[in-house]
Amino acid sequence: MALIAAWLFAWLFVERLSKTLAPGLGDNAGLGLLIPIAFGVTILVVWEVVTRAGNVPQVILPPPSMIWARITASVPTLLADFQQTFLKAVLIGYALGCGLGFVVAILIDRSPFLKSGLLPLGNFVSALPIVGVAPIMVMWFGFDWPSKAAVVVIMTFFPMLVNTVAGLNASSAIERDLMRTYAAGYWQTLMKLRLPAAGPFIFNALKINSTLALIGAIVAEFFGTPIVGMGFRISTEVGRMNVDMVWAEIAVAAVAGSVFYGVIVLIERGVTFWHPSVRGA
């Protein structure tokens, strides 16, 4: 009963806030953040109350307080896993995959034939369950992080390729004509017009890939790992029914993924400051 009341109260609070915010104050970051934060706190409170009051077995869903206790108690383990999975497999694979996709896009952009041959394939591969190559990569590159990085490279390559090629065609004919009137060469046009115009597309791919990379690395670790890594920890602790540890690992992964995404958004705002979606036009 109290729970429903709390929920209704939170609901009214959000409703009020939205009403006061709706006329014009939408850009105020502080207030704009307040609502989701209030909502999040509500969810955590409800989660805690339900799991404690409803006697939900810890195996199914431990309360947030217990997860937090587990996080603070096992910082070294979590840190080692984070280093193994995120700092090695994810970041290296991400950099390689995005870099390769970008370079290949610029190379095939010069050849209409290759473009019409590779792009449909790239789009097709984007829909495939690429995570399945993990066992093959483990065989080729061994159990340690290179095999995970290889999976991440394959996963991130195609979105980057397709988006960059689309972005390179984003500049309009009149802008390209202007470059011609300036007698700009191919490379000058690329650097000064087409790449900046492709910025939003490239960052779109970078954002998509940031989540793909993390998930790819974690799932790849289900197929065989050394005894460290987030995916390894999750799969073994599930087997041992230490669910609080699993959730702690998930929390770390969620925070890492969000921060990773946020950093890319910040870079995007700095680089494509001219774009309407950033200017808030």
* 161, two tokens: 């390729």
Provide the terminal-to-terminal Cα distance of the chain, rounded to the nearest Å: 45
Distance CA 144, CA 175 (A): 48
Q: What's the closest the beta carbon of residue 14 comes to other proteins, in angstroms? A: 5
CB-nearer residue toward other proteins: 179 or 257: 257
Rounded to whole angstroms, the Cα distance separating 133 from 153 reads 11
Q: Which two tokens stand for residue 139?
A: 């065989």
Question: Would you call 127 exposed, middle or buried from its count of C-beta atoms within 10 A (0-12, 13-18, 19+)?
Answer: exposed
Q: Residues 241, 242, 247, CA angle at the centre, nearest 5°?
A: 115
Q: Closer to other proteins by CB, 35 or 69: give it.
A: 35
Please, are residues 51 and 195 in contact by the beta-carbon 8 Å criterion? Answer: no
- C-beta closer to other proteins: residue 4 or 22: 22
Residue 180 Cβ, how far from other proteins at the closest point, in Å? 27
C-alpha 47: how far from chain center: 25
Task: Report in angstroms how near the CB of residue 196 gets to other proteins at its nearest.
Answer: 25
Complex with other proteins: residue 43 or 103, whichever CB lies closer: 43
CB of 113 or CB of 187, closer to other proteins? 113
Q: How far is the CB of 191 from other proteins (least distance, A)?
A: 28
Least spacing, CB of residue 116 vs other proteins, in Å: 4
Which residues contact other proteins (rule: CB under 8 A)? 11, 14-15, 17-19, 21-22, 35-36, 38-40, 43, 59-60, 113-114, 116-118, 120-121, 124, 126-129, 131-136, 138-140, 211, 214-215, 218-219, 222-224, 230-231, 234-235, 238-239, 243, 246, 249-250, 253-254, 257-258, 261
